[in-house]
Chain A
Amino acid sequence: MLDDSDRRLLRHLLAEPGLPTAALAERAGLTTATCWRRLERLADSGVIQARQAVVNWRALGYEVEVSLRFTLDKTHPRAFDEFLAAAREVPEVIGVETFLGRVDVRLNVIARDLPHYQQIYRERILTLPHINDIEALMLIATIKDSAGLPL
């Protein structure tokens, strides 16, 4: 079970994931050794699942990011499985989400520029199986991006 110190620790960790353990401990009001132990326990119990490096696609020349929202043809029993399996094969798809709502699936697609996006869209996206409808939202700016939880 989590106590208040765990919650405080997680709140600071999620707000500033790059913080060294000593600084994190200080913010959470713990000694560095206690902080280490608690982080280890949270990882062992699966509360902390992973720490991953964030890849900045813009720095690699991917200037365009589009959120594509799909509704699928649900009369086909394997529509979700087949669509998702095919979408995973598209290298420019960096995220896949499924939903309960008007939208069934969202794909996050990156491209070097608009002509490249158009090529991906025509050759790799429109050819995905069981699509009923597609809406596109083009990313202009990310104003906030945090994994923070109101713990």
Chain B
Amino acid sequence: MIDLDDTDRALLRDLARDGTLSAGELGRRHGLSQPAAWRRVKRLTDAGVLKGQRVLVDRAALGFGVTVFLGVKLATKGRVSLEDFERAVTAIPEVQVVQHVLGLFDYRLRVVARDISDFERVLRRRIMTLPGVGQVEANVVLSEEARPGPLG
């Protein structure tokens, strides 16, 4: 596992907010030369700590006003049914996130829809028809906030 110093943590905090910052700009902020900042970012990337980028968009402006988290319990269990369910659920374009979890549910899904009636269509036609699907609980997202996490 990679060891981080305070400067590494500061670079990660900055990049987690704005992934487009150049090595030059990062260096200026933290008292490093451009090559020194670049070497640190490369080391973090090589160690797998920096893992690509994410693009945040205004989903409502793009016509997707509703985000829902679904907790799904499978009615039948066993290896085959998990694989069938996972294959079918990942193919649904409105499903952004699929997580296998342990607890009250078997899967957590993040679903986007244009509005509540569009969500109902996705739920009825796509989710409830998935192989092995049992109990489903829906919670509509009101707000979301990413936190910097333990980067000191």
Query: Do the beta carbons of B112 and A149 come within 8 Å of each other?
Result: yes
Which residues of chain B have a CB within 8 Å of any CB of chain A?
Answer: 1-2, 4, 12, 15-20, 47-59, 61-62, 64, 69, 71, 86, 89-90, 93-105, 108, 112, 137-147, 149-152
Q: Give 20 A-B contacts (CB < 8 Å), ordered by A residue.
A: A10-B62, A46-B61, A48-B56, A48-B58, A49-B56, A50-B55, A51-B20, A52-B17, A95-B147, A96-B144, A99-B141, A102-B139, A106-B69, A110-B149, A139-B100, A140-B99, A141-B100, A149-B62, A149-B64, A150-B94
Query: Do the beta carbons of A47 and B1 come within 8 Å of each other?
Result: no
Query: Do the beta carbons of A91 and B149 come within 8 Å of each other?
Result: yes
Query: Do the beta carbons of B103 and A48 come within 8 Å of each other?
Result: no
Query: Do the beta carbons of B102 and A95 come within 8 Å of each other?
Result: no
Which residues of chain A have a CB within 8 Å of any CB of chain B?
Answer: 2, 7, 10, 13-14, 17-18, 46-57, 59-62, 67, 88, 91-103, 106, 110, 135-151
Which residues of chain B are within 8 angstroms of A13 by Cβ–Cβ distance? 55
A47 to B58, CA, bound (A): 5
> A144 with B69: in contact, given A59-B51, A92-B149, A135-B103 (CB under 8 Å)?
no
Which residues of chain B are within 8 angstroms of A102 by Cβ–Cβ distance? 137, 139
Which residues of chain B are within 8 angstroms of A60 by Cβ–Cβ distance? 1-2, 4, 49
